[in-house]
Protein backbone atom coordinates (compact mmCIF):
# COMPACT_ATOMS: atom_id res chain seq x y z
CA UNK A 1 0.00 0.00 0.00
CA UNK A 2 1.13 3.52 -0.69
CA UNK A 3 3.06 4.84 2.31
CA UNK A 4 0.99 8.03 2.37
CA UNK A 5 -2.27 6.06 2.57
CA UNK A 6 -0.85 4.08 5.49
CA UNK A 7 0.40 7.18 7.30
CA UNK A 8 -2.89 9.05 6.89
CA UNK A 9 -4.86 5.92 7.97
CA UNK A 10 -2.66 5.67 11.09
CA UNK A 11 -3.31 9.34 11.95
CA UNK A 12 -7.06 8.84 11.40
CA UNK A 13 -6.98 5.82 13.74
CA UNK A 14 -5.15 7.86 16.38
CA UNK A 15 -7.93 10.51 16.21
CA UNK A 16 -10.62 8.09 17.46
CA UNK A 17 -12.04 9.36 20.76
CA UNK A 18 -11.12 6.03 22.40
CA UNK A 19 -7.52 6.65 21.27
CA UNK A 20 -7.38 10.14 22.77
CA UNK A 21 -8.54 12.20 19.78
CA UNK A 22 -9.59 15.73 20.79
CA UNK A 23 -12.58 17.18 18.87
CA UNK A 24 -11.45 20.70 19.86
CA UNK A 25 -8.13 20.29 18.06
CA UNK A 26 -8.74 17.69 15.36
CA UNK A 27 -11.14 17.72 12.39
CA UNK A 28 -11.10 13.91 12.26
CA UNK A 29 -11.76 13.55 16.00
CA UNK A 30 -14.66 15.99 15.60
CA UNK A 31 -16.15 13.80 12.86
CA UNK A 32 -15.71 10.67 15.00
CA UNK A 33 -17.33 12.42 17.97
CA UNK A 34 -20.38 13.25 15.84
CA UNK A 35 -20.72 9.64 14.65
CA UNK A 36 -21.92 7.76 11.57
CA UNK A 37 -24.37 10.35 10.23
CA UNK A 38 -21.79 13.18 10.18
CA UNK A 39 -19.27 11.00 8.34
CA UNK A 40 -21.89 9.78 5.86
CA UNK A 41 -23.04 13.38 5.25
CA UNK A 42 -19.48 14.34 4.33
CA UNK A 43 -19.20 11.35 1.96
CA UNK A 44 -22.42 12.45 0.23
CA UNK A 45 -21.21 16.08 0.00
CA UNK A 46 -17.78 15.17 -1.34
CA UNK A 47 -19.24 12.72 -3.89
CA UNK A 48 -21.61 15.44 -5.12
CA UNK A 49 -18.80 18.01 -5.24
CA UNK A 50 -16.73 15.54 -7.29
CA UNK A 51 -19.57 15.17 -9.79
CA UNK A 52 -19.99 18.94 -10.01
CA UNK A 53 -16.23 19.49 -10.48
CA UNK A 54 -16.20 16.97 -13.32
CA UNK A 55 -19.20 18.56 -15.00
CA UNK A 56 -17.56 22.02 -14.66
CA UNK A 57 -14.27 20.71 -16.04
CA UNK A 58 -16.08 19.16 -19.00
CA UNK A 59 -17.74 22.53 -19.63
CA UNK A 60 -14.32 24.19 -19.91
CA UNK A 61 -13.46 24.65 -16.24
CA UNK A 62 -10.42 23.69 -14.24
CA UNK A 63 -9.71 19.91 -14.29
CA UNK A 64 -7.53 20.18 -11.19
CA UNK A 65 -10.71 20.71 -9.14
CA UNK A 66 -11.63 17.09 -9.98
CA UNK A 67 -8.36 16.06 -8.35
CA UNK A 68 -9.03 18.13 -5.19
CA UNK A 69 -12.57 16.80 -4.82
CA UNK A 70 -11.42 13.20 -5.37
CA UNK A 71 -8.82 13.73 -2.64
CA UNK A 72 -11.57 14.98 -0.28
CA UNK A 73 -13.70 11.96 -1.20
CA UNK A 74 -10.85 9.48 -0.67
CA UNK A 75 -9.95 11.11 2.65
CA UNK A 76 -13.52 10.98 3.98
CA UNK A 77 -13.86 7.40 2.70
CA UNK A 78 -10.81 6.56 4.82
CA UNK A 79 -12.54 8.09 7.87
CA UNK A 80 -15.60 5.91 7.08
CA UNK A 81 -13.41 2.80 6.73
CA UNK A 82 -11.83 3.54 10.13
CA UNK A 83 -15.28 4.00 11.68
CA UNK A 84 -15.92 0.35 10.72
CA UNK A 85 -12.41 -0.79 11.74
CA UNK A 86 -11.42 -1.30 8.09
CA UNK A 87 -8.23 -0.09 6.41
CA UNK A 88 -7.24 1.18 2.95
CA UNK A 89 -5.30 -2.09 2.61
CA UNK A 90 -8.62 -3.97 2.82
CA UNK A 91 -9.89 -2.01 -0.20
CA UNK A 92 -6.61 -2.62 -2.04
CA UNK A 93 -6.91 -6.35 -1.28
CA UNK A 94 -10.44 -6.34 -2.71
CA UNK A 95 -9.25 -4.57 -5.87
CA UNK A 96 -6.44 -7.13 -6.16
CA UNK A 97 -8.98 -9.95 -5.79
CA UNK A 98 -10.98 -8.45 -8.66
CA UNK A 99 -7.94 -7.82 -10.86
CA UNK A 100 -8.41 -9.30 -14.32
CA UNK A 101 -12.06 -10.18 -13.70
CA UNK A 102 -14.14 -8.38 -16.30
CA UNK A 103 -17.09 -6.50 -14.82
CA UNK A 104 -19.22 -7.87 -17.68
CA UNK A 105 -18.19 -11.49 -16.91
CA UNK A 106 -18.67 -10.96 -13.17
CA UNK A 107 -22.19 -9.62 -13.73
CA UNK A 108 -23.06 -12.54 -16.03
CA UNK A 109 -21.87 -15.04 -13.39
CA UNK A 110 -24.12 -13.64 -10.66
CA UNK A 111 -26.78 -16.04 -9.46
CA UNK A 112 -29.01 -13.32 -7.96
N1 LIG B 1 -6.36 14.83 4.32
C2 LIG B 1 -7.02 15.48 5.14
C3 LIG B 1 -8.13 16.30 4.73
N4 LIG B 1 -8.66 16.52 3.51
C5 LIG B 1 -9.69 17.37 3.71
N6 LIG B 1 -9.81 17.67 5.02
C7 LIG B 1 -10.80 18.56 5.66
O8 LIG B 1 -12.07 18.13 5.27
C9 LIG B 1 -12.95 19.24 5.26
C10 LIG B 1 -13.65 19.23 3.93
O11 LIG B 1 -14.80 19.88 4.08
P12 LIG B 1 -15.29 20.93 3.00
O13 LIG B 1 -14.43 20.99 1.81
O14 LIG B 1 -16.72 20.61 2.77
O15 LIG B 1 -15.06 22.29 3.79
P16 LIG B 1 -15.80 22.81 5.05
O17 LIG B 1 -17.03 23.51 4.59
O18 LIG B 1 -14.76 23.64 5.75
O19 LIG B 1 -16.19 21.51 5.92
P20 LIG B 1 -17.36 21.32 6.99
O21 LIG B 1 -17.37 22.54 7.89
O22 LIG B 1 -18.64 21.14 6.20
O23 LIG B 1 -16.98 20.07 7.69
C24 LIG B 1 -12.12 20.50 5.48
O25 LIG B 1 -12.20 20.92 6.84
C26 LIG B 1 -10.70 20.00 5.17
O27 LIG B 1 -9.69 20.69 5.87
C28 LIG B 1 -8.87 17.02 5.69
N29 LIG B 1 -8.58 16.96 7.02
C30 LIG B 1 -7.53 16.19 7.42
N31 LIG B 1 -6.76 15.44 6.52
C32 LIG B 1 -5.67 14.55 7.01
O33 LIG B 1 -6.03 14.12 8.32
C34 LIG B 1 -4.96 14.45 9.22
C35 LIG B 1 -5.54 14.69 10.60
O36 LIG B 1 -6.34 15.86 10.59
P37 LIG B 1 -6.82 16.49 12.00
O38 LIG B 1 -7.63 15.41 12.64
O39 LIG B 1 -7.65 17.71 11.67
O40 LIG B 1 -5.59 16.82 12.77
C41 LIG B 1 -4.28 15.66 8.59
O42 LIG B 1 -2.94 15.80 9.03
C43 LIG B 1 -4.34 15.28 7.11
O44 LIG B 1 -3.31 14.34 6.79
Distance CA 74, CA 111 (A): 31
- Residue 2: what pLDDT? 86
- Residue 70: what pLDDT? 98
- Residue 110: what pLDDT? 84
- Residue 54: what pLDDT? 98
Determine the atom of ligand 1 nearest the C-alpha atom of 30: 38
| Phi, psi dihedral angles at 67 (to 5 degrees) | -60, -50
Ligand 1 center to residue 72 CA distance, Å? Answer: 8
Q: Which pLDDT tens digit goes with each residue over 66-98?
A: 999 999 999 999 999 999 999 999 999 999 999
Provide ipTM, 2 decimals: 0.93
Q: Low-confidence residues of the chain, pLDDT below 50?
A: none
Closest C-alpha residue for ligand 1 atom 40: 26
Is the pTM for the entire model greater than 0.90? yes
Distance CA 4, CA 29 (A): 19
- Residue 77's nearest CA partner among 3, 25, 5 is 5
Amino acid sequence: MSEILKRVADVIESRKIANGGDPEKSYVARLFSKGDDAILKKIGEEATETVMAAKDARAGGDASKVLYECADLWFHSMVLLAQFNLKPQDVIDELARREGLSGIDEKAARTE
